[in-house]
Amino acid sequence: MTEYDYWKIFPRMPRKVTIGDITVRDGFQHEEKFISTAAKIYYTEEMIFAGCRDIEITNLGNPYSMPQFRDAEQILTHVRSDKFKNQCAKRGIKYEDICFTCVTIRESAVDRAIALKQKGIGPDRLLMMVSTEEEHHFANSGTSLPDYWKEAERCIRKCNDAGMKMCGTVSTIWGSPIGGATDMQDAIDFAKRWLSIGAHDIEHADHDGSASAPDVYRYYSMVLDQLPNTDLHIAHFHETKRVTSASVLAALQAGITHFEATLGGLGGQPANFMDDCPTKGTGDYYYDDPRYVGLVTLEDTLVQIDEMGVAHGYDVDRVLKLGKLLERTVGRRLRSDAIINGRTKKEGHPQYARPGLKRVKEKLGEKTGQKLPNGWDATPQLPERCFGR
């Protein structure tokens, strides 16, 4: 007989996960209008109040290239303020449980993070990034892979000495939007390289939605066979083909316990246009249609995981409300279906029932709850062809 217990079929699948929110950084970086500092602070606070404990809040790169993050120090100053700490305490949130991450692709950004740390407003964790396909890596960082690895090693020593953690991102695991097909083993080797030079954890990123569910399952199974500590690994999926929920499920089945997402599925390359002015960003966008870019949506992922019975620590309804508000902030309909349809209600939607069923059943002499005609056998008699004989 077939085994029906999902956790016996996939024994590595977790009962509890961590979902980091990266809306305010990765989500907003692709927006071609400046999202106000007040809005960034609002969504940072509200996501934490809704249960998030791992949150990316800004990019410390040069604001000339990414003007969306010209308010980085203001955001960091706010989350390090006594006012915000008191807000957390009033809600029973342990402030020390929150991990604030800033992206620092190049060494100058790492140095900036260290200077902010010395001022008392630095992040807890930084993030640097390599791609296994060098053209994609060059587009993001402006340097070669060998040169970047040496830079990353220096930066990790610096940030660890300053009391901060470093996350090493590995991208183009399942393919590159520039160079095409890639080898998954290269990504595992790069993850090992990050750890060998002192990275705290690894973000395994599908930055262009190349992944298919079988390859996601295969890759993360390979990862956990070779690096079995699940706390080291974070799944980061972009949505370009409306199949990312399958990738999330495949990662769960393989045993991954840490995920990232954005409200509304926002995100993508740093914007190369801001308000009414072209800006540098990372150059031309490598996609043809802006409707098909961004991350897996936090709202839909959270509902998916919640309805599987996997613990996550969020107030789901509060997150769904935030998703609706975010559409007003950015001024357009976003990707989440869950903010429209909500969670599956066990009690159903009785307000949509057609009136009169009880009266019809009484007229026909049927009992309440009766689903079969009187006189029918309790067990249906199946023909032989149902059994393939």
| Residues with Cβ within 8 Å of residue 202, at least 6 apart in sequence | 167, 168, 169, 170, 191, 194, 195, 232, 233, 234
- Contact between 369 and 353 under an 8 Å Cβ cutoff? The reply is no
- Both tokens of 288, joined, read 């043809």
Indicate if the pLDDT at residue 265 is higher than 70: yes
What is the residue-averaged pLDDT of the chain?
A: 95
The pairs formed by 182-188 with CB atoms below 8 angstroms and a separation of 24 or more are 182/132, 182/133, 183/132, 184/215, 184/218, 184/219, 184/222, 185/222, 186/132, 187/132, 187/219, 188/219, 188/222, 188/223, 188/226, 188/227
Q: What are 169's strand-pairing partners?
A: 129, 203
Confidence of residue 208 (pLDDT cuts 50, 70, 90): confident
- The DSSP letter of residue 34 is P
Domain boundaries, given as residue ranges, for the chain: 6-341, 356-384
Say which CATH architecture domain 6-341 belongs to. Alpha-Beta Barrel (3.20)
In 3D, which of 209, 206, 219 has the Cα closest to residue 335? 209
Look at the pTM and tell me if it is higher than 0.85.
Answer: yes
Q: What is the pLDDT of residues 17-35, one digit of tens each?
A: 999 999 999 999 999 999 9
Provide the pLDDT for residue 389: 66
Spatial CA neighbour of 98 closest among 27, 45, 40: 45
pLDDT, position 202: 98
Report the alpha-carbon distance of residue 23 to residue 154 in Å, rounded: 29
